[in-house]
Amino acid sequence: MSNTGTSWRIQGARVIDPFRGIDAVLDVTVRDGVFVEDYDPSLPVVDAKGLWLVPRLTDMHVHFRDPGLEYKEDLASGSRAAAAGGFTVVCTMPNTKPVVDIPSLVEWQKERAETLGLVRIWPIGAVTKGEEGKELAEMYQMAQAGAVGFSDDGHPVADSRIMRAALSYSATLNRPIIQHSEDPDLFAGGSMHEGAISQQLGLGGIPAEAESIMVWRDVELVQLTRGILHVAHVSAPGSLEAVRYAKNKGLAVTAEAAPHHLFLSDDAVREWQYSAVTKVNPPLRPAAMQEALIQAVTSGLIDVLASDHAPHHADEKAEPYDKAPFGISGLETFLGTVMTVFLGRGLLSPLDLFAKLTAMPHQVLRQSYAGISPGAAADFTLIDPGAVWTVDPAAFYSKGHNTPLAGATLTGRAVATMVGGRWTMREQEVLG
């Protein structure tokens, strides 16, 4: 069957639509790139029996490295990785060269994504100029250009006065500040979680408190400003307590967890024998903290799951552990990882799990989408929930093959991705 065209009939899929709270076997019709209600026997048919159809899978935390660091990843390779992973929307972090801190760079990323036609890119603008933490960037102008939030990710906004001002603007702009929570002084010199394994391996440790101290500070600043805070890649117990406190107070505070923190513990550093594929910031935590994070996702304390896709060149990751860059390439393993952790253990229903990849990112980012409703853009993913597969980084579309999941067996995989009525991936082959 041809992969072209924008009108289709998807038959027999289990539709899991968190936007509308639907979990049922249905036929779905797409005409001219949008969902429609009527049945049209003339449309090409896709037999989706045994597959799940999930609308608007969204990863609100990726690093595509473009402009300036294209040897690690660019918008084209990152978009291919997103389509291969089943995603229809990704939010690109601004720590590029130059930093995305002006409206023209926001516009350029959006225009480039439209040209590529593989995934919708929603840029995140920098909080401060050059991500230097000294002066607020052009937040209003970037919001007007299409930035859906603001972050200095890769660096914390460490200056409390700057963070107070940013949170104050966030309420006015109705855009979240997405904080990379880290106390720079406690973090300095560390390569992995500070604990028994770091001591055994002789590697510099990063205490969990380096993260949680900053989360607590920011929660206090939200109380002061009534701003909008989203805590990126939470990993520490103290951070969870701060988020729980904020939610109990009715503050506009949300949080995300990354799949690698849910699937792996810091024991992976020992198992990989100092390979920097396990080096990530925040670091992999001990098993007890890993389990606490899983329970926080299950209970709803953690609102969103996001990959923190951070590709690097192989030569960089081959450096000694203490010198190699932080980051894991995660787009193409995301679905299988979270489905294995939460569905494989029976911790969440499919509807609750996929809410954290669809409706909740939209809610956090103040973006509207009606799910599988007449007139809504036909963005969806077909997923084989029973697919058992082994992670092979050599098969990644991403330029970054840096993953500690190499060789892992996962259950659940995207088999087709559609954006605006056009297939961008089918049977693990990216189209275009």
Work out the number of other CB atoms within 10 angstroms of the CB of residue 24: 9
Q: Which residues of 235-270 are buried (b: 16+ CB within 10 A; e: fewer)?
A: bbbebbebbebbbeeebbbbbbbbbbbbbbbbebbe
Helix (H, G, I), strand (E, B) or coil at 285: coil
Query: Tokens in use for 362?
Result: 């939209």
Q: Are strands 34-36 and 253-257 parallel, antiparallel or unpaired?
A: unpaired
User: Who contacts 187 (Cβ-Cβ below 8 Å, separation ≥6)?
Assistant: 206, 210
Helix, strand or coil, per DSSP, at residue 44 = coil
Cα 15 from Cα 374, distance rounded (Å): 15
Answer for the pair 83, 119: CB distance below 8 angstroms, yes or no: yes
Instruction: Give the C-alpha separation, 376 to 400, whole Å.
Output: 33
- Quick one: tokens of 43? 């449309």
246: Cα separation from own chain's centroid = 22
Name the one residue in this structure whose structure tokens are 């929660």. 219
308 is annotated as an active-site residue: yes
Render 96-113 in DSSP notation, one character per residue.
SSS-S-SHHHHHHHHHHH
Dihedral sign (CA 367, 372, 377, 381): positive
Identify the DSSP state of 131: G
CA distance 311 to 87: 17
Contact 119, 89 (CB under 8 A): yes
Catalytic residue among 101, 303, 308, 379: 308
Place of tokens 């799990």: 353
The helix (run of H) or strand (run of E) holding residue 291 is helix 287-299
The catalytic residues are 308
